[in-house]
Structure 1
Amino acid sequence: MIGAGIVLLGVGVADLIRLYVPSRGRGVAYAAAALLILIGAAGADAVVWAFVAVAVAAVWVLATPGSTGGRAGLWPLIAVAAASFVAVALHGVRVDQGPLGEAWPAGSPLGAVSFDVAVFVVGAVTFLVESGNVVVRAALRGGEVNADSPTALKGGRLIGPLERVLVFALTLTGAFTLLAAVLAAKGIVRFPEISRDSALGTRAEYFLIGSLVSWVTALGAAFLLWWGTAG
């Protein structure tokens, strides 16, 4: 469980650095983030997964396009998903969670949340914020729909992260009725803009592909948490 959280955290932080840090300072920012992840993982007796996370994040950054240009397909996402699945399969919620786990408070407003689960949730949310956008852009570039074309629905870069985090949270809390309402509301809000593109259907295709990929990414993260804590 904690291994998957560290991998997702590493990839998510790398994408946030790529988005917000100027190119001249990215090398230092990447090194600082890797060092912090390594130190934190050492305190949780999961240092091996820190090295895995750094390697996966490096491949991710090199293989995926940024906010503009490039076409990588979905194989980097498959690599991240495979590493996360292996981590959950090997280690669920551990009994011995290291010094940081021992210092972690036993209670929370949501009940008893272990350190491993907390790290996974932080990693998953970090991944869903910007890396989810990278996944959606890769999916759209994989076909004929261009995410950077004038037909792209504006606001998706902000709405997408909020939507994924909300889907992730509502799925974990079992609020499926509210989840369905949120997804339906998005379609209702977007319908007038989509309907104006009846001739080519590009907006509708963009909306459907982007939304489905975004939702599946969030649901996949929720599934990993459910699987890791089921045992």
Structure 2
Amino acid sequence: MTALTLLALGLRDLLAVTPGRTSRHPWLALLAAVGAVLIGGVVLAGGAASAAETLSAVALALGAVLAWHALARAGSPHLRVGALGGVVGLAVAEHTGALTVAHGPVGMALLGAGLVLVETANVVTRDVLRLAGRPSTDDVHDADDVHDADDDGEGLRGGRFIGPMERLLMAVLGLMAAWQAVAAIMAAKGIVRFPEISKDARAGDAKGGPMGASAEEFLVGSLASWTLAAGAGLVVHLALAGG
């Protein structure tokens, strides 16, 4: 169920921001996500799960993606973060045996976790930053592309890709138990941001916020992003252990 839900959420959010018809018509992204759930249900039915367990997994995944789509249109960070917490609760119930549903195959868990780390994690990180007091900016997806949103030029806008690549890399390294490499990435990110944070501490936030705002924004955004990477890695680990 968890793998199927993550697959649907990740696909919906990725298609919603991909240039093309789905970005102009969000219902197409929802339709694709619903189709992915139904196809995933067929895959689950072909496994060892019973019909009741498969139907339960499909029903929960459909409910999650429909609720997520509605909340995305509403634009409420409180409700979206709460909805993600609900998905986490269902995942815990699934893997502790408190909820009897069909478990997705390892490949589905890998695909779902990867898709979620690409764009859904951007949405959640942005919501966490808004809850922490950062002004709402529809063009900002992660703590790493704060300045990309403020820059109207045609230069490199790497921040839009740093967050997803960082999360994917950290999840893979975590699954490989390469903790030294994970720590090195965290340290390197802090070193890269150090000049900006130091400048903010001396002269105040260039964006008009109080002194130290850049450091707080960096910490909140990074910790939220890393937590999501760790959660996705845990989902894959549980799928591997169950397989």
Shorter-chain TM-score tier? 0.7 to 0.9
Cross-structure match for 2:17:
19
Aligned counterpart, 2:65: 57
Amino acid at match of 1:27: W
C-alpha displacement at 1:4, in angstroms? 1.1
Q: How far did residue 47 of structure 1 move? A: 4.6
Q: TM-score, structure 1 length as denominator?
A: 0.78
Q: Report sequence identity in percent.
A: 35
Could you say which residue in structure 1 is the equivalent of 2:84? 77
Report the residue type matching 1:56 in the other structure. A
Query: Match of 1:38?
Result: 38
1:127 and 1:156 mapped to 2: Cα distance?
17
The answer to whether the 8 Å contact 2:22/2:28 transfers is no
Q: What secondary structure, in the 3-state scheme, does the structure 2 residue paired with 1:138 have?
A: helix
User: In 1, distance between residues paired with 2:196 and 2:82?
Assistant: 32
Structure showing greater relative contact order (alpha-carbon pairs closer than 8 Å, 6 or more residues apart): 1
- Describe how 1:84-163 pairs up with structure 2 within 5 A: 84-90=91-97, 116-146=105-135, 148=137, 152-154=146-148, 155-163=158-166
Is residue 6 from structure 1 mapped to residue 4 from structure 2 by the alignment? yes
SS in 1 for 2:132: coil
Mark the runs of 5 or more structure 2 residues left unpaired by the alignment. 46-53, 149-157, 205-210
Deviations 1:68-107 (A, max 9, x none): x65335212202212222333349xx9x98xxxxxxxxxx
Aligned length: 208
Contact 1:37-1:50 within 8 A present in 2 as well: yes
**Alpha-carbon distance in 2 for matches of 1:217, 1:72:** 17
Query: Hey, what's the Cα distance between the residues in 2 that align with 1:186 and 1:126?
Result: 23
Tell me if the contact between 1:160 and 1:214 (Cα under 8 Å) persists in the aligned partners.
yes
Contact 1:65 1:138 in 2 (8 A): no
Structure 1's 36 and 222: CA in aligned 2 closer, same or farther, altered over 3 A? closer
The 2-side partners of 1:147 and 1:193 are apart by 21
Q: Say whether residues 1:186 and 2:175 are aligned partners.
A: no
Alpha-carbon RMSD across the aligned residues, in angstroms, is 3.0
Which deviations, in whole Å up to 9, do the C-alpha atoms of 1:129-173 show, x marking residues without a partner? 101011111111112223639993434432111111111100001
Q: Partners of 1:24 and 1:182 in 2: how far apart?
A: 36
Structure 2 residue matching 1:44: 3-state secondary structure: helix
